[in-house]
Structures are given as structure tokens and as C-alpha cells.
Amino acid sequence: MCFQTAINLKVYPLSKMVKVGDTVSDIEEGIFAGMWTVGVLKGSSEIGLSEQEIKEMDPYQLQDRMKRAENRLLQAGADFVVDEIGD
């Protein structure tokens, strides 16, 4: 998908581009394409919570869940992990 997107947009090299995703497979895709990778936590498949569930969750439980998801993304090879897409 990364290669096709780069072709469609006529941008290169992939090593100067960033793949942003919320799953381990997103991170792996970016790595295999030679891109920088950024994992996103809140609203991600790795955390598995809706926005409403995040708001209602105990902050300590949420931090624990986010830390575990962050570790999975970093172990997959993410260059960075951010809390939210706006970060």
C-alpha cells in the first residue's frame, strides 16, 4: 500500500516519508517500505477502546493499557509513538 500510494502521489524517496498507523501491521508495513514509522495510541486497534470508553476509563487503567500498546508498537519497530493523531 505504501509503494502504491507513493506512485500515485509521485513522491519519493520512501525513506523521507512517514507511515502513521495504529497497529503492529501498520508499523511493519512502513518498515518494509523503508519509511519512518509513527504509532498512534488513542483510538487505536491496539488499545481497542472507543473515544467514549477512553473518557470513562479509570486514568490509571488507561495509562496501563496505553503503555502496553506503546510497548507492542515500539517492539514492532516504530520510530515514535504518540498518544493521539494530532500529536
**Positive or negative, the Cα torsion across 54, 58, 59, 64?**
negative
- Which pLDDT tens digit goes with each residue over 31-86? 999 999 999 999 888 898 888 999 999 999 999 999 999 999 999 999 999 999 88
- Residue pair 74/51 in contact (Cβ under 8 Å)? The answer is no
pTM: 0.88
Using CA atoms, how far apart are residues 58 and 63, in angstroms rounded to an integer? 9
Of 86, 78, 84, 61, nearest in space to 18 by CA = 78
Please report how the helices 24-33 and 59-75 are oriented relative to each other, as an axis angle in degrees rounded to 10: 30
